Amino acid sequence: MKKSKVKSSKHEPSKHKQNNITKGIIISFCVLIAVYIAVSLYFANHFYFGSKINGVSVSGKTVDETKTKLASVLQNYTLNIKERNGKTETIKAQDINEKYASNNDYQKLKNEQSPYMWITGIFSKKNSEMADGISYDSNLLKEKIDALSCVNGNDITEPQNPSFKYTSKGYVVIKEILGNKVNKDALYAAAKKAILNQESTIDLEKSNCYITPKYTSSSPKVRKTKELLNKYVSSKITYTFGNQKESIDGSAINKWINVNSNLDVTIDEKKEKDYLNKVFSKYETTGKTRSFTSSSGDTINVSGGDYGWLVNTSKEMESLNSSIKKGQTTTKQPAYKQTAASHDANDIGNTYVEVNLSKQHLWFYKNGSLVTQGDVVTGNVSLNDSTPAGVYWVKYKERNATLKGQGYSSPVDYWMPFNGGIGLHDAPWRHGQFGGDIYLTQGSHGCVNCPPDLAQTIFNTIAAGTPVVLY
């Protein structure tokens, strides 16, 4: 009997391989599902990978572990304040009673993270980050800031604008001083922001917490102020007093000049006036003692009165300051309140009225020549109405005046006042009785009583401003 041959299929190995692949895929898929389920079970109680609260990683942490970690982070939080001089000061969380606003309630974030959607957390941060507000005691923060040495220390330097120094070559700019004074309000705002954002450092320089000078050496305003100052001190004003001169230039002017906080140039008028008064006083003669040669040939000293040179300093300052602001060089006379005959030692000149009170006699000279003379009656000594000695000047002259005072009213033809209500005038009621000792008990109320013809001659010749010398 002949055996038949069994043919093997060439497809059998291929089917086996396919079965193995299929089996492997199924097993892998089951493993993946098992792993995914296991990881999902893990994330049922743990935060997604990449989860952050206030920037702190809580990846894989449980809610309780997160609370512990964040509490530790907050407890260890320190705000470092970096200062200009290289010094650093700190404010700690416990110093200001710092807390999380949510009271560590992070379950809400966890609830938003579905355990079975954990894989999406790898690609999206939608449900992976949380900002937990910070609360603190604002009063404690202010107290801590007030206590910082950069705020209330002993080595705080005020900022200063550039200043200007006068030299023989004009003004130079002295560089500004930055100082280290802190703007407390700006520091408080920066600290508040840093605490809420849990930032570890405030750089006072970068945070613009320092009070800075309004201007620096490179500011256009500084250049303009320097130019103006140099214009002022380039001025030279020369005053003439007869043959004598006094010059005022930058060496004096610079001492009156001030520059305010806005770099505006001002003139200290008090300093200016004090300086000018010292200069002018050397040439003012009002009230000063004079050496006078009397008609009898005697040289006497006469003091008092209101005659003489007197500068109107206030008015002159207006003119002077105008010249200074223009940078002018000029020669001039100062503005005067009143003038005298000359700037010589004898400023009375050679036109004047002379009254010898003890001899009760008057002389009137014009251009050195005697115009007239005669006996007079002056103030009543017994009633303390003596005519004051001194050098005065005729203020004006008036015809037909009425002189009034306590208990009297006297019409006169010729009135020439020289000292308030005291003056030269005719006194017809004396009926020609003048000179001698009349003035001791029957004198005037202070005026110089003249015979009518003497008063008329003087009146017709004299001019306002003429000196009256009484001694």
CA distances 252 to 156, 233, 256, 323, Å, are 35, 8, 7, 14
Question: pLDDT tens across 242-253, in order?
Answer: 999 999 999 999
Q: Flag whether pLDDT at 469 surpasses 70.
A: yes
Question: pLDDT tens across 142-193, in order?
Answer: 999 999 999 999 999 999 999 999 999 999 999 999 999 999 999 999 999 9
Token duo for residue 27: 């097993």
Token duo for residue 174: 């002295």
**Mean pLDDT, residues 20-40 taken together:** 80
Between 210 and 23, whose confidence is greater? Answer: 210
Is position 425 annotated as part of the catalytic site? Answer: yes
Confidence label for 238 from pLDDT (cuts 50, 70 and 90): very high
The rounded mean pLDDT for the chain is 91
Domain 352-470 sits in CATH at 2.40.440.10
Q: Flag whether pLDDT at 410 surpasses 50.
A: yes
How many Å separate Cα 246 from the centre of its chain? 33
Q: Flag whether pLDDT at 70 surpasses 50.
A: yes
Residue 122: the pLDDT is 67
- Rounded Cα distance between 47 and 351, Å, is 116
Between 19 and 323, whose confidence is greater? Answer: 323
The candidate with the shortest Cα–Cα distance to 235, out of 332, 320, 329, 322, is 329
How many Å separate Cα 66 from the centre of its chain? 58
Of 46, 209, 425, 450, which is the active-site residue? 425
Residue 33: the pLDDT is 83
Is position 150 annotated as part of the catalytic site? Answer: no
Of 150, 209, 445, 447, which is the active-site residue? 447
Residue 1: the pLDDT is 46
Helix (H) / strand (E) element for 331: namely strand 329-332
Helix (H) / strand (E) element for 186: namely helix 184-196
CA distances 309 to 124, 336, 340, Å, are 98, 7, 5
Q: 195: exposed, middle or buried (C-beta count within 10 Å: 0-12, 13-18, 19+)? A: buried
Residue 52: the pLDDT is 85
Where does residue 304 fall: left (phi above 0), alpha (psi -120 to 50 degrees), or beta otherwise? left
Residue 215: the pLDDT is 97
- Rounded Cα distance between 70 and 134, Å, is 12
pTM above 0.75, yes or no: no
Domain extent listing, the chain: 31-163+173-214, 221-286+308-338, 352-470
How many other β-carbons are positioned within 10 Å of the β-carbon of residue 130?
19
- Name the strands in the sheet holding 56-57, side by side, starting at the edge strand that comes first in the sequence: 56-57, 52-53, 129-130
Burial 264-279 (b: 16+ CB within 10 A, else e): ebebeeeebeebbeeb
The percentage of residues in the chain with a pLDDT greater than 90, rounded to a whole number, is 73
The candidate with the shortest Cα–Cα distance to 452, out of 374, 396, 392, 393, is 374
Query: Among positive and negative, which fits the CA dihedral 259, 260, 263, 268?
Result: negative
* CATH class, 221-286+308-338 region: alpha beta
Report the Cα–Cα distance between both ends of the chain, in Å, rounded. Answer: 191
Confidence label for 455 from pLDDT (cuts 50, 70 and 90): very high
Residue 343: the pLDDT is 94
Question: pLDDT tens across 94-112, in order?
Answer: 999 998 877 667 777 777 7
Residue 141: the pLDDT is 96
Confidence label for 11 from pLDDT (cuts 50, 70 and 90): low
Give the phi and the psi of residue 238 in degrees, each rounded to 5: -110, 120
Q: Flag whether pLDDT at 8 surpasses 60.
A: no
The candidate with the shortest Cα–Cα distance to 160, out of 205, 204, 220, 212, is 212
Q: 58: exposed, middle or buried (C-beta count within 10 Å: 0-12, 13-18, 19+)? A: buried
- Rounded Cα distance between 423 and 436, Å, is 20
